[in-house]
């Protein structure tokens, strides 16, 4: 036993001396360094989530310093911004931690809204019996709809500290009620553009909202992204890689079981999506939430304050639309990180950023609820050829 212990101790001592020698020989990487080791280190930080790019150089720049500091802060190391032997070992350790993501200041807790007297409902909250029921209270900011197979609740919220006003739309659907893509021309994305209220009324939709505004990219002869409408691929061409520009053409697919799923722009082809049964695919991006996790790219990019618009899924048949007004007196807009954080706080597991700005439109019972945004000194809403809608009504 004593002999075995001596062997173990001797081996451990030899290993310790070897590590010390390696550490002593390690050349610390600092600002201005240029080597394959720098590139290797940056690639590893990228894999851990510290970079949003997939392309790395051999240069140790000021941006590299900040990434190293963030790694050191997230992993309890001295924040030197230089990669010494201890930092190098930590970066390549199996125990290395991803970056700590700073959350934004929570939005203000809303005051309770006066609730209307509801009609008879079944155990799941749908209208009991036949028919439909509308409630529209513009003053208090509450709109509701009930039918035997559809529930819609829209709440207007406001936070003066953030100069932000927004709409939270919750949708519950069953028995074949589903989100649908409506078009002015079922075969073409660029024909007969109309105001959003006009299209919603024409299709007799209970709820309609703007989508990926692919019409704009058609008219400008830009890359459309993967566009599928009613099971037909209208575009299969997309970006070679996801980026930090708008739109980066990340996408959301809608499936027959009521589920929504987001993808990077180049992650899956149109043919594969059709093979999986995708009914509709919307391309704008970036995706905000996937599998309940916020897209890490939002913490450093897409930081401009704008009118924003996003669609998310809480569960199949249970959806959440977030529409933030901007470029108007009541609201400046917001950044995409806040959009993602608000949506996740409501239980959203999959979410895609749709076209915002002067495209953003939320139409309930034929009336657009959001204020017009100002752009280039003009207050307007863009005309469009496609929208996402749910529910049909004859009650006009």
Confidence of residue 155 (pLDDT cuts 50, 70, 90): very high
Residue 3 pLDDT more than 60? Answer: no
CA 62 to chain centre: 29
Residue 180 pLDDT more than 90? Answer: yes
Three-state DSSP class for 161?
A: helix
Determine the pLDDT at residue 54.
Answer: 80
146, 127 in Cβ contact below 8 A? yes
Q: List pLDDT tens digits, range 81-90.
A: 999 999 999 9
Q: List pLDDT tens digits, range 99-151.
A: 988 899 999 999 898 889 999 999 999 999 999 999 999 999 999 999 999 99
Alpha-carbon distance values, 136 to 113, 167, 318, 323, 340 (Å): 13, 14, 21, 18, 28
Name every residue whose Cβ is closer than 8 Å to that of residue 82 and which is 6 or more positions away in sequence. 28, 29, 30, 31, 65, 68
Confidence of residue 2 (pLDDT cuts 50, 70, 90): low
Alpha-carbon distance values, 339 to 100, 120, 169 (Å): 19, 34, 13
186: closest CA among 205, 174, 203, 209? 203
Q: What's the length of the chain?
A: 396
Residue 274 pLDDT more than 70? Answer: yes
Strands 227-229, 205-209: pairing kind: unpaired
Residue 68 pLDDT more than 70? Answer: yes
Q: List pLDDT tens digits, range 286-315.
A: 999 999 999 988 988 899 999 999 999 999
358, 327 in Cβ contact below 8 A? yes
Determine the pLDDT at residue 395.
Answer: 83
Structure tokens belonging to residue 349: 């597991």
| 2-91 is classed CATH 1.10.101.10 | yes
Determine the pLDDT at residue 22.
Answer: 44
* Helix (H) or strand (E) segment spanning residue 284: strand 280-284
Helix 62-74 vs helix 36-48: angle between axes, to the nearest 10 degrees?
Answer: 50
Cα angle vertex 292, ends 353, 90, to 5°?
A: 105
Residue 12 pLDDT more than 80? Answer: no
Domain ranges of the chain: 2-91, 133-392
Exposure letters 102-138 (e unless 16+ CB within 10 A, then b) = eeeeebeeeeeeeeeeeeeeeeeebbeeeebeebeee
Round to whole Å and give the CA distance between 388 and 313.
14
Looking at residues 181-188, what average pLDDT do you find? Answer: 94
């Amino acid at each position: 036993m004593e002999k075995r212990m001596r062997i173990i101790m001797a081996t451990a001592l030899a290993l310790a001396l070897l590590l010390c020698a390696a550490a002593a020989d390690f050349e610390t990487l600092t600002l201005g360094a240029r080597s394959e080791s720098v590139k290797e280190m940056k690639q590893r930080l990228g894999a851990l989530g510290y970079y949003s790019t997939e392309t790395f150089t051999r240069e140790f720049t000021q941006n590299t310093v900040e990434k190293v500091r963030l790694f050191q802060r997230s992993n309890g190391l001295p924040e030197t911004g230089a990669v010494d032997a201890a930092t190098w070992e930590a970066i390549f350790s199996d125990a290395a931690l991803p970056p700590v993501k700073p959350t934004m200041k929570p939005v203000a807790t809303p005051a309770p809204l006066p609730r209307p007297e509801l009609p008879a409902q079944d155990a799941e909250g749908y209208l009991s019996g036949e028919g439909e029921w509308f409630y529209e209270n513009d003053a208090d900011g509450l709109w509701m709809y009930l039918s035997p197979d559809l529930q819609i609740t829209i709440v207007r919220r406001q936070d003066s500290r953030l100069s932000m006003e927004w709409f939270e739309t919750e949708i519950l659907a069953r028995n074949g009620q589903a989100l649908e893509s409506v078009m002015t021309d079922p075969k073409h994305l660029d024909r007969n553009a109309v105001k959003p209220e006009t299209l919603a009324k024409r299709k007799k939709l209970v709820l309609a909202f703007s989508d990926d505004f692919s019409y704009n990219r058609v008219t400008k002869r830009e890359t459309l992204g993967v566009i599928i409408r009613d099971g037909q691929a209208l575009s299969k061409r997309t970006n070679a890689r996801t980026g930090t520009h708008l739109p980066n053409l990340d996408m959301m697919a809608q499936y027959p079981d009521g589920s929504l799923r987001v993808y990077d722009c180049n992650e899956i082809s149109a043919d594969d999506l059709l093979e999986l049964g995708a009914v509709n695919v919307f391309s704008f991006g970036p995706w905000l939430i996937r599998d309940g996790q916020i897209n890490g790219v939002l913490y450093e990019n897409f930081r401009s304050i704008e009118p924003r618009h996003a669609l998310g899924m809480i569960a199949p048949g249970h959806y959440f639309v977030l529409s933030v007004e901007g470029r108007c007196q009541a609201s400046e807009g917001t950044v995409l990180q806040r959009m993602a954080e608000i949506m996740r706080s409501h239980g959203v597991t999959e979410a895609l950023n749709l076209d915002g700005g002067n495209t953003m439109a939320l139409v309930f019972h034929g009336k657009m609820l959001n204020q017009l945004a100002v752009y280039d000194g003009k207050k307007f809403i863009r005309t469009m050829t496609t929208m996402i809608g749910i529910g049909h009504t004859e009650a006009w």
